[in-house]
């Protein structure tokens, strides 16, 4: 949309009309570094063997062969690659079928004074 050799409008004016900054016009995205590409290849191999590895375990595994990586870099690269660990999520909201369900005894009770009702966990 922006033509650098436009006879009447400067690049600055064209960018303003299109509502982008001049830096966005001149920006050229850079790819991943060769080190990151090698890490991503290795992460892919490890993830195929151990799909339950999250960022912490993947970082620990990559540090063994002396790759100086941090957890944030591993997390970013896993996000770029679309790797998400597979693990069993906690089942905290599913009640046991044999557990007795107690009646709620305070239903309809009007609490009118202090120390009328007590509660514990």
Q: One digit per residue, pLDDT tens: the chain, 121 residues?
A: 888 888 898 988 989 988 999 998 889 988 899 999 999 999 999 999 999 999 999 999 999 877 889 999 999 999 999 999 998 888 888 888 999 988 888 899 999 999 999 888 6
What does the pLDDT read at residue 119? Answer: 83
What does the pLDDT read at residue 54? Answer: 93
Encoded tokens for 16: 């303003």
What does the pLDDT read at residue 94? Answer: 84
Are the C-beta atoms of 15 and 22 separated by less than 8 Å? yes
Residues shown for the chain: 121
**DSSP annotation of 118:** -
How many CB atoms neighbour CB 78 within 10 A?
A: 21
What does the pLDDT read at residue 120? Answer: 80
Spell out the long-range contacts of 66-71 with Cβ–Cβ below 8 A and sequence spacing 24 or more: 67/39, 67/42, 69/39
* Number of alpha helices (DSSP H) and beta strands (DSSP E) in the chain: 5, 0
């Amino acid at each position: 949309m922006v033509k650098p050799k436009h006879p009447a409008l400067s690049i600055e004016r064209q960018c303003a009309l299109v509502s982008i900054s001049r830096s966005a016009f001149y920006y050229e995205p850079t790819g991943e570094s060769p080190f990151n590409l090698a890490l991503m290849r290795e992460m892919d191999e490890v993830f195929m063997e151990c799909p339950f590895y999250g960022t912490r375990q993947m970082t620990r595994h990559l540090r063994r062969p002396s790759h100086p990586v941090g957890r944030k870099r591993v997390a970013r690269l896993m996000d770029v690659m679309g790797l998400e660990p597979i693990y069993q999520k906690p089942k905290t909201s599913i009640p046991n079928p044999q557990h007795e369900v107690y009646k709620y005894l305070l239903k309809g009770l009007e609490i009118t004074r202090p120390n009328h009702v007590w509660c514990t966990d």
